[in-house]
Structure 1
Amino acid sequence: MAVLFTLIILLSAFLLFQIQPILTKEQLSQFGGGASIWSAGLFFFQTCVLLGYLYIHLIRHLRLQWQIALHQVLLIIAVAVTYTHVEQSTLNTLPPIWSVVVSLAVQIGPIFIMLSTTSVLLQKWHCLLNQSPVPYHWYALSNFGSLIALLTFPFIFEVYFALTTLKELWFLALLVLVTLLFALMALLTHKVSRKTSVSPTKPTKTIFNHHLLCITLAALSSLLLSSTTFMINVNIPPMPLTWVIPLAIYLITFIIAFLLPVQSGSFYSNSALVFATLAGILMYFLGSKFSAAAQFSMYTLVLFICTLSCHRALRQIAPNQHSMTSFYICIAFGSVLGSFTSSVFAPVIFNLPLEYPLTLLAIFSLHLYNYTQCSVSKYMKLGYLIILMSVTFSFVLLNNAYTTLNVITKRNFYGMLTVKDLTINDTTERRLIDGTTIHGYELMDGASPNTGYYHGKTGIAKAIKTLQANGPINIGIIGLGAGVLATQGRKHDTITFYELNPAVYHVAKKYFSYLNNSLADIEVKIGDGRQLIAKEISQSAFQQDAIVIDAFTSDVIPTHLLTTEAFELYWQRMRNNGVLIMHISNNHIDLMPVMANLSLRFNKSLLLFDFKSSASSQLGSRWLIMTSNEVFIESMPTSTLVNRYVYINQFTAPWTDEKHSLLPYIKL
């Protein structure tokens, strides 16, 4: 029976954490690929775990036979309603984060709640049958199963399997798990019938402070996980890898804390926490100056040290079997509280991601408080207190210096925008910055407005000028930025911007002059560019001469805009000789193989404009143009016709909505 217990716990945890990235990735095509999708998904899944633990707590007074019978009925119902879909029209009426939550809840909510109970419920049943201590190492075993799922998804399953195939395989594995669970429950029922009495024991009272400490520790570790994921995804593409690895680190610290002997409060662990706090705050201010690998490594190291401190403290106060369910509920509630704070609360009250450094300071403060309650010398207590005060004071000073040039900072579900006024060589320059990437700027004296990525030497400027040689043009642009491309329009031209983030439009309209001063007819549509284009096709809108894709927020890749299905929409929206123009400048991802495959798939030519510059007013940029318009190609000056076959290998099949991975294209 021990083997069956182990197998069920491992498989259940594996399925729980395999379905998370599958369904969360599926949401990206609906909500624009923002990094906050991952935080919203994490909030939903942690809420399901809390509901599962509450269910265990509520049935604890039932006899074991009744607990088993009830669980069997609920499992059958949950399996029957798995993968139910909700209408997109219903989701469109909700705020983005709640659209994600509702979509996930309808598809997977009931079965996810039931699966989340497996480890704790089996621990409870084991204790009832054998009157033994709580096997907390099973909780570590459950986290190990989750860890395997998380690590295999980005490196194996995402690369080699389509989403539909993964969902089908997951459901088959679910049926296997349910079969094993029913077999185990039958064995347990038989074992119970041979005992004279197996009734739940009365729980012992636990003090409120104990529960509060559990919730606080769990909330801080969860909040640090969510805020770390946000910080990573500001400048690194929000692919499952950047969501999975931090969560894997989080699980590893649970495994270490609940499986290995408790060692908390040592000189080495205290020193590590001091280092992590300082390093995390420095990364908050200076992280964008480092490479993607360096950022990722440092953020995850800080996460590991701080969450391990929290989880070791949790293991130290873990109760006996009588209060076990309360303990797990406190952990789950704290986890939900942390992810809710990061996903919903923090974007409302903070324009900057201040929850990250504040969480680091809170973890250090709590650890310092607990440590100073022990029998340590007053000099050691004073030393740690001085460190805390120094770090806090330094953070305040750095934050003031960091934001002193900000005109406005806006943060919402889709990310963080900052408008800065900088004085360079006696010239005041206003910049729009998304994360750390410049999305357009304007000289405040009104001179040379068309600068940055869009000056006259870039591929986009040359392409538009070539198109305009034949008369007024009608183009669509996915991604607004500061609205700099509006200046490329001439009288009688029509330019339609598709912008996902309403805050971008507000900032471009109020703080920059490009939209207001353009000679062209300008229209800005708020929503996901791909969905808006599909809607225009269904309404038989006038066909466009060109579509520009310039929606890569802070080096983030909205992969749903670069799939075969998306490109089919673009070609339907344009005239037969239409031109697709793409801004592919990126510090971390090489998009050339993706574009080469798509050009072959649609039998189009590729032109590359790779402009390098050291001038502050003319940023280097890389533009690709895809078209079958031979007249346009011959008219384009100083372009490179791409040999697409150079970029083709076994890992570069054309992306589809069902199957695409950024992993093979990461620049090392």
Structure 2
Amino acid sequence: MLAVLYATTLFVGAALLFLVQPLVGKLLLPLVGGTPGVWNTCMVFFQIVLLAGYLYAHRSTGKFGVRRQAVFHLLLLAAVIVSFKAAIAYTGSPVAVVPSMLPDDQDSLLLMVARLGVVVGISIGVPFFVLSTTSPLLQRWFATTGHPAAKDPYFLYAASNAGSLLGLLAYPLLIEPRLALQDQQWVFAGGVLGYVALVVVCALTVIRNGETRVSNVELKKDVPQDLGSELVPPTSVFPVSARRIGRWVVLATLPSSLLLGVTTHISTDLAPVPLLWVVPLALYLMSFILVFARWPDSVHRVVGRVTPMLLLFVVLTLLLNAAEPLALVVLLHMAAFFGVCLVCHGELAKDRPPAEHLTAFYFWLSLGGVLGGLFNALIAPLLFSSLGMVEYPLALVLAGAVRPHDDEQEGKLRVADVVLVLVLLGLSVGLVLTVQQFLKMPVEQNTSDAVAQRLLRGGLMFGIPGVAAFALIRKPARYSLALAAILLAGALDTGLFGETLHKERNFFGVIRVTRDGKFIKLIHGTTLHGQQRADESGPPRPMTYYHQKGPVGNLFDALPRERVNNVAVVGLGTGAVASYAQPGQKWTFYEIDPAVVRIANDKQYFRFLSDCRGKCEVVLGDARRHLNRAPDGAFDVIILDGFCSDAIPVHLLTREAIALYVSKLAPNGIIALHVSNAHLNLPPLIRRLADDHSPSLVTRYCYDVPRDGEPEDGKTESQWMLLARSESDLAPVLNFNRTHVKKSPIQWDPVKLVDGPIWRDDFANLLRVWKRRGEE
């Protein structure tokens, strides 16, 4: 029963810990917007507090002893109850956000970080800190209980990670779709109080039983281990040296970095599907559960030998920009990542120290996880700003050198190894340059011949180096350097999918400007954000979903010139919609990504803004916050174009957001929303939001498919909606289409009202707007 008590407490604590960050994020999003400074500050805050919790568990048990530390920890649990009571007294809810302390756009970066850190600390700091101590502290307590399993309490780590997995899946799949934010706070607070009660019982078992010394388990190095047994139990033969600690940190850092790398690559470059980020994180947690439970050593060895082969195939898919068949490519990336996690975490499980060093062990693991996350989220976007997402292939290269410890005897690096890899690098570079010289890509990239030629180019460039790397697969150091050599040579490739004119990355991801046949394109991940004809000498014409023969062109053809004086546009892209601006009009663009602003203003790529006939102004920052500062009734037309990717800004599609847009709309004004999305069916949601507004808004919908010759002219498929206060406000558009059927075949149809939830700042159900099979 004692083991069940501790396992249950660890499970509950870990599940609650994984609920904190999405809960706080949902609280802050409508208040402070979605800028990188906000979310990076929150991430750093939680990482630091988590590390502080592990450090507290280590230092307090070492200084006071487990029994006295348990008494002290009861005081900390009381502080959690006090913090909830204070929050309820001040705000009426257990998670208090103090509006007067929220950062302002006029704050310096340092002041913004400080104020936001204080806000998050006040709202959730004490409960989060206590929850973060759970895993190392309770396992250390259990080690002194005298239970038969107390000598090796690491099996409890599996229970902890199982709780984390439940928390990870429960929030997006169960809690968020069913509970308003206020209810979520009370559920969280109730869960924490239940957790506190469980920890109190655990503490009483330690205080009552006293501190039992755990005898060290020693293994002789010359005693062979049964290959079918579970991973080797903890040993004190090897001291906890600086070298051993360094190995722990590296083995924890690599999977953490790879987790963010594979998530970013899959969700932006392969399949921008909402909630897909859950899968890699679930695999990451699952690897901990497996290796710290009853994971056979024989299976660990097999995984250690299969994973390097998977890494080679992943590297080749990166070099070939392979995205089809999509399911197979995604599965390959996931399998390689899972294999690396199992190997690294399995090695940590094998090298776990005796229980007396348990808290130190978990602290160094936590430090490694923090370092991996900070490197990908904060350091890499600054360090590799002009190179793209380098951290993912870099982690793959390092992973190539990680093997089960018993298989590493061939991994020593020698001069001959370096020479061999330099030869491979020279071969790879020569092949890339030679193939590029003699095998040019066709101008049109989307034909079947072009696809076949891309594959041929890739096979000629990387086929022989790939085989050479495979031959070194049993030599970890050589193999890792071989992967690096192939990737370095691949960086010289001018691009299998169009010439890359510009590439940069920041906290929003990698953004590219490419020349593909007749067009210069702006691409973020797999999402096209606009294009311009490469050979256009006069004023550029709007393309893609802003095409003159599309819904937006139809809107501005229909509206009388005198009715459009002031236009707001949320989402800049290439600035193509500025082509519709007329002299005397003012157009205000709201864009959150500074890289997009720089590129749209660079005339060597796009001239929509520079050639704008009206007055164009770009406001950098969160659109909702900046729109809120505009005068009421200021805009004749508001265009919202921020919902095409997988991670749509939910706070721009809530009841409160719609009310804001309507308040900024001039009499007779119109709101136009670009609702094209591969995975989310947004028109029914927007129809419900329009009907929910008081008074209800009139809606129209257009699904525009390019006709003969239009794709070659740069037009793409798009879906748009119009919102207005009354039918008369939309009359110019609807009447225009009736009288100009031949000139404009665009049709604006009513949207059927379908029962469903209303998104609010405190509630959004992403699953209910997921497209079903057959939906447009």
The TM-score normalised by the length of structure 2 is 0.77
Question: Do the aligned residues in 2 keep the contact of 1:36 with 1:343 (CA within 8 Å)?
Answer: no
Helix, strand or coil at the partner of 2:617: strand
| Partner residue in 1 for 2:131 | 115
| Partner residue in 2 for 1:498 | 590
Question: Do the aligned residues in 1 keep the contact of 2:32 with 2:625 (CA within 8 Å)?
Answer: no
Letter of the 1:663 counterpart:
L
Helix, strand or coil at the partner of 2:63: coil
Helix, strand or coil at the partner of 2:625: helix
Does the C-alpha gap of structure 1 residues 632 and 99 become closer, same or farther in structure 2, counting only changes over 3 Å?
farther
Letter of the 1:664 counterpart:
R
Does the C-alpha gap of structure 1 residues 570 and 583 become closer, same or farther in structure 2, counting only changes over 3 Å?
same
| Among candidates 571, 592, 602, match of residue 510 of structure 1 | 602
Q: Deviations over 1:74-107 (max 9, x none)?
A: 2222443353425464264365888876654442
2:167 is the alignment partner of 1:149:
yes
2:150 is the alignment partner of 1:135:
no
| Partner residue in 1 for 2:72 | 70
Does the C-alpha gap of structure 1 residues 453 and 506 become closer, same or farther in structure 2, counting only changes over 3 Å?
same
| Among candidates 454, 457, 464, match of residue 549 of structure 2 | 457
Q: Deviations over 1:130-151 (max 9, x none)?
A: 2841311100011111111212
Question: Do the aligned residues in 2 keep the contact of 1:46 with 1:332 (CA within 8 Å)?
Answer: no
| Partner residue in 2 for 1:579 | 670
Q: What is the distance in 1 between the residues matched to 2:138 and 2:508?
A: 40
| Partner residue in 1 for 2:433 | none
| Partner residue in 1 for 2:439 | none
Does the C-alpha gap of structure 1 residues 617 and 280 become closer, same or farther in structure 2, counting only changes over 3 Å?
same
Greater shift after overlay, 395-404 or 249-258?
A: 395-404
Does the C-alpha gap of structure 1 residues 527 and 39 become closer, same or farther in structure 2, counting only changes over 3 Å?
closer
2:683 is the alignment partner of 1:592:
yes
Structure 1, unaligned stretches of length 5 or more? none
Alpha-carbon distance, 1:357 to partner: 1.3
Question: Do the aligned residues in 2 keep the contact of 1:28 with 1:37 (CA within 8 Å)?
Answer: no
CA RMSD of aligned residues (A): 3.2
Q: What is the distance in 1 between the residues matched to 2:494 and 2:142?
A: 55
| Among candidates 656, 659, 662, match of residue 763 of structure 2 | 659
Q: Deviations over 1:263-308 (max 9, x none)?
A: 2686632443124313433554566845876665444333222211
Greater shift after overlay, 353-362 or 441-450?
A: 441-450
Does the C-alpha gap of structure 1 residues 11 and 89 become closer, same or farther in structure 2, counting only changes over 3 Å?
closer
Q: What is the distance in 1 between the residues matched to 2:23 and 2:156?
A: 26
Alpha-carbon distance, 1:20 to partner: 2.7
Question: Do the aligned residues in 1 keep the contact of 2:633 with 2:666 (CA within 8 Å)?
Answer: no
| Partner residue in 1 for 2:63 | 61
2:482 is the alignment partner of 1:446:
no
| Among candidates 620, 640, 646, match of residue 549 of structure 1 | 640
| Partner residue in 2 for 1:433 | 523
Helix, strand or coil at the partner of 2:396: helix
Helix, strand or coil at the partner of 2:182: helix
Q: What is the distance in 2 between the residues matched to 1:35 and 1:263?
A: 43
Letter of the 2:294 counterpart:
L
Q: What is the distance in 2 between the residues matched to 1:360 and 1:79?
A: 45
Question: Do the aligned residues in 2 keep the contact of 1:134 with 1:321 (CA within 8 Å)?
Answer: yes
Summarize the alignment of residues 615-634 of structure 1 with structure 2, pairs less than 5 Å apart: 615=712, 617-627=714-724, 628=726, 629-634=729-734
Helix, strand or coil at the partner of 1:514: coil
| Partner residue in 1 for 2:278 | 244
Q: Deviations over 1:426-481 (max 9, x none)?
A: x5x32222222221222343345322222211111211222244444211000111
Question: Do the aligned residues in 2 keep the contact of 1:265 with 1:371 (CA within 8 Å)?
Answer: no
Does the C-alpha gap of structure 1 residues 129 and 395 become closer, same or farther in structure 2, counting only changes over 3 Å?
same
Alpha-carbon distance, 1:358 to partner: 1.0
Alpha-carbon distance, 1:207 to partner: 1.6
Q: What is the distance in 2 between the residues matched to 1:401 and 1:568?
A: 50
Letter of the 1:618 counterpart:
K
Question: Do the aligned residues in 1 keep the contact of 2:634 with 2:664 (CA within 8 Å)?
Answer: yes
Question: Do the aligned residues in 2 keep the contact of 1:53 with 1:328 (CA within 8 Å)?
Answer: yes
Q: What is the distance in 2 between the residues matched to 1:158 and 1:566?
A: 19
Q: Deviations over 1:571-591 (max 9, x none)?
A: 110023221111122222222
* Number of positions where the alignment pairs a residue of Structure 1 with one of Structure 2: 652
Q: Deviations over 1:5-59 (max 9, x none)?
A: 2321221111111223222344444565579987775554443332111101111
Question: Do the aligned residues in 2 keep the contact of 1:607 with 1:626 (CA within 8 Å)?
Answer: no
Helix, strand or coil at the partner of 1:227: helix
Letter of the 1:622 counterpart:
Q
Alpha-carbon distance, 1:331 to partner: 0.4
| Partner residue in 1 for 2:711 | 614
Question: Do the aligned residues in 2 keep the contact of 1:150 with 1:245 (CA within 8 Å)?
Answer: no
Q: What is the distance in 2 between the residues matched to 1:659 and 1:226?
A: 27
| Partner residue in 1 for 2:97 | 85
2:385 is the alignment partner of 1:355:
no
Does the C-alpha gap of structure 1 residues 232 and 44 become closer, same or farther in structure 2, counting only changes over 3 Å?
farther
2:302 is the alignment partner of 1:268:
yes
Q: What is the distance in 2 between the residues matched to 1:242 and 1:158?
A: 16
Helix, strand or coil at the partner of 1:259: coil
Aligned identity (percent) is 27
Letter of the 2:682 counterpart:
L
Alpha-carbon distance, 1:123 to partner: 1.5
| Partner residue in 1 for 2:735 | 635
Q: Deviations over 1:302-325 (max 9, x none)?
A: 322221111111111111112212
Helix, strand or coil at the partner of 1:658: coil
Q: What is the distance in 2 between the residues matched to 1:559 and 1:476?
A: 19
The TM-score normalised by the length of structure 1 is 0.89
Q: What is the distance in 2 between the residues matched to 1:245 and 1:35?
A: 23
2:246 is the alignment partner of 1:212:
yes
| Among candidates 475, 487, 503, match of residue 395 of structure 1 | 487
Helix, strand or coil at the partner of 1:456: coil
| Partner residue in 2 for 1:408 | 502
Summarize the alignment of residues 195-344 of structure 1 with structure 2, pairs less than 5 Å apart: 205-234=239-268, 241-263=275-297, 268-282=302-316, 284=318, 289-290=323-324, 297-344=331-378
Alpha-carbon distance, 1:397 to partner: 3.0
Helix, strand or coil at the partner of 1:242: coil
| Partner residue in 2 for 1:417 | 511
Question: Do the aligned residues in 1 keep the contact of 2:547 with 2:715 (CA within 8 Å)?
Answer: yes
The structure whose Rg is larger is: 2
Q: What is the distance in 1 between the residues matched to 2:169 and 2:43?
A: 16
Q: What is the distance in 1 between the residues matched to 2:736 and 2:36?
A: 37
Alpha-carbon distance, 1:491 to partner: 0.7
Question: Do the aligned residues in 2 keep the contact of 1:257 with 1:312 (CA within 8 Å)?
Answer: yes
Query: Per residue, is there more helix in 1 or in 2?
Result: 1
| Partner residue in 1 for 2:447 | none
Question: Do the aligned residues in 2 keep the contact of 1:232 with 1:295 (CA within 8 Å)?
Answer: no
Q: Deviations over 1:516-544 (max 9, x none)?
A: 211111111111111111121xxx35521
Alpha-carbon distance, 1:622 to partner: 2.0
Letter of the 1:179 counterpart:
A
